[in-house]
Chain A
């Protein structure tokens, strides 16, 4: 065994590990930097007034309440349409469908829905909901658009959660005289529920932060009142941030950072809830 050969291998080993570690550091440090910076620059803007008052002076002063409320309503509307449909579709795939070409087609369709650019969803929403169905630029159009965009996320997560439930439970239920739906309703769905809820929250988190799908379907910038009905247009946090950082002259940097921080807290708050649900469910599992 030549000494030179052994040295080579260890040198490569050290270099390799160092390189990998370097990439990880270069990835993680900016992430921490980004969050830290936004928190540092945005925190001074956050006050009770900022969160609960209406904006003044062409959005340059006052609060961002309508944007917060708008995002809240949009998230709710998205949940209303995408959750029942998504869970039902996932139940079909996990419990009813056989592995044939139709099922493969459905799976391809889901992957495709997940990959469509968000601005194309905006165009679709414009074409179908705003113009063809004449809902106009409204909460309704925007929520419907966002819910189709969120559908693949919910279906994937829900299907995975359903499949994780042991097959033996289903067999026992059937052998005791249960129908497929009874088995799903009484055993599979309750056991899969934490995983499904986690998936829903992560999907809604994405929907809450999206701008492009609501650009032409429901978002408005200058709306001095809160939406009264689903057919009203609405302000929304991501859209608000976009406009004040690119199109409003003499916009206070502090308010921009503050808006960004509120949006982050809204979105990441949901993430936190999802994570907590997931770990608590894992602890309480009876299988």
Chain B
């Protein structure tokens, strides 16, 4: 398996000096779901935000280390972050639909890139909605305001919005944390289909979701990468005591 993203010796800290992540070395294989899980405050979200340089907007700074996307270090100051963010898309924990119609939400990313051709835009709308399993539900009301959709539909719209941009990597930060079980199931099913063509990095909101989704799993605790394994190994035979304690629910 080729590695899409390689994280080398990454150290992160907050602007007030406290450490966020310590010496992270991690490989994210292509076309698979890599899961980053662990208790709150472990640094998973901060790491996720470094992968599309969204940490530039927050109080998290990179102290040292590299993040290689297809071999190129995206932490280099000369990096074109705009292009990077089109290649690496992100879905956030709370669904954030832009105050526009469903269609406009989906074409927003392409319009940012100055895509004006009607045919390309319509194609992207349909593609994104079909890939996130939302097409059948909204195809007749694409010009309705996106805010009218239910919570689960809005989150799938956010996924569709990222997909319309034709990324290579999809980052998801607790994407189903506010959703009911049926919507969660739909999102998870969509991701299982998407992993055939996209590299997916997922921060789950529960250990069970981590176990369901992981092709590769990484356990983070208080800024450290404690354990990493393929498939469900981490959940059935954890090698580290701390991993086992967390999975067993002894702390959380």
Q: Cβ of A286: which chain B residues have Cβ within 8 Å of it?
A: 99-100, 145-147
Q: Does B52 contact A (CB under 8 A)?
A: yes
- Residue tally, chain B, CB below 8 Å to A: 27
Q: Tell me whether A177 and B145 are in contact in the complex, defined as CB-CB below 8 angstroms, given that A171-B57, A171-B92, A191-B99 are known contacts.
A: no
A47 proximal to B (CB < 8 A): no
* A176→B99 contact, CB < 8 A: no
Q: How far is the CA of A178 from the CA of B94 in the complex (A)?
A: 20
Contacts of A285 in B (CB 8 A): 99
Considering only residues 39-75 of chain B, those with a C-beta below 8 Å from chain A are: 52, 54, 57
- Chain B residues with CB under 8 Å of A186's CB are 108, 111-112
Question: Given A171-B54, A287-B147 in contact, is the A176-B96 Cβ separation under 8 Å?
Answer: no
Shortest Cβ distance from residue B81 to the other chain A in the assembled complex, whole angstroms: 9
Q: Which residues of A contact B145 (CB under 8 A)?
A: 286
A252 at the interface (CB under 8 A from B): no
CA of A174 to CA of B109 in the docked complex: distance in angstroms?
A: 10
The reply to whether A176 and B112 contact each other, CB–CB distance below 8 Å, is: yes
Q: A175–B98 contact, CB under 8 A?
A: no
Closest beta carbon of chain B to A13's beta carbon, Å: 45
Measured CA separation A168–B154 after assembly (Å): 14
A175–B57 alpha-carbon span in the complex (Å): 10
Q: Is there an interface contact between B92 and A168, defined as CB atoms closer than 8 Å?
A: yes
Task: List CB contacts (< 8 Å) of A157-200 with chain B.
Answer: 166, 168-169, 171-179, 182, 186-187, 191
Shortest distance from the beta carbon of B60 to any chain A beta carbon, whole Å: 14
Q: How far is the CA of A173 from the CA of B109 in the complex (A)?
A: 8
Pair B147/A176 contact, Cβ less than 8 Å = no
List B residues 74-106 near A (Cβ within 8 Å).
82-83, 85-86, 89-90, 92, 94, 96, 98-100
B189 within 8 A of partner (CB): no
Instruction: Find out whether the CB atom of A176 lies under 8 angstroms from the CB atom of B89.
Output: yes
Complex partner residue of A169 from B85, B86, B98, CB under 8 angstroms: B98
Contact: B90 with A177, CB < 8 Å? no
Chain B nearest Cβ from A194, distance in angstroms? 12
When chains A and B are docked, how far (Å) is the Cα of A103 from the Cα of B190?
46
Residues in A whose Cβ lies below 8 Å from that of B85 = 174-177
List B contacts of A168 (CB < 8 A).
92, 94, 96
Query: How many angstroms between the C-alpha atoms of A83 and B180 in the bound complex?
Result: 47
Q: Which residue of B lies closest to A172 (CB)?
A: B96
Known contacts A286-B147, A287-B147; A175/B99 CB under 8 A: no
Complex: A171 Cα to B96 Cα, angstroms = 9
Q: Is B165 an interface residue (CB 8 A)?
A: yes
Residues on A with C-beta less than 8 A from B90 are: 175
CB distance from A179 to the nearest CB of B (A): 6
Question: Judging by beta carbons under 8 Å apart, are B100 and A175 in contact?
Answer: no
Q: Is the CB of B86 within 8 A of A176?
A: yes
Is the beta-carbon distance between A169 and B108 smaller than 8 angstroms?
no
Contact yes or no, A182 B57, CB < 8 A: no
B83 to A172, Cβ gap below 8 A? no
Closest to A170 in B: B57
B109 to chain A, nearest CB (A): 4
Nearest neighbor of A191 in chain B, beta-carbon distance: B99
Tell me the bound Cα distance from A140 to B52 in angstroms: 51
Residues of A within 8 A of B83 (CB): 177
Interfacial chain A residues near B108, Cβ < 8 Å? 173, 176, 186
Q: How far is the CA of A141 from the CA of B90 in the complex (A)?
A: 53
What's the least CB distance linking A31 to chain B, in Å? 38
Interface residues of chain A, those whose CB is within 8 Å of chain B, are: 166, 168-169, 171-179, 182, 186-187, 191, 285-287
Given contacts A172-B158, A174-B57, 5 further A-B contacts (CB under 8 A): A166-B96, A168-B92, A171-B92, A172-B92, A177-B112
Task: Please provide the 3 A-B residue pairs with the shortest distance between their CB atoms, ordered closest to farther.
Answer: A286-B99, A176-B109, A177-B86
**Chain A to chain B contacts (Cβ below 8 Å), 16 pairs:** A169-B96, A169-B99, A171-B54, A171-B92, A171-B96, A172-B92, A172-B98, A174-B54, A175-B85, A176-B165, A177-B83, A177-B86, A187-B98, A191-B99, A285-B99, A286-B100
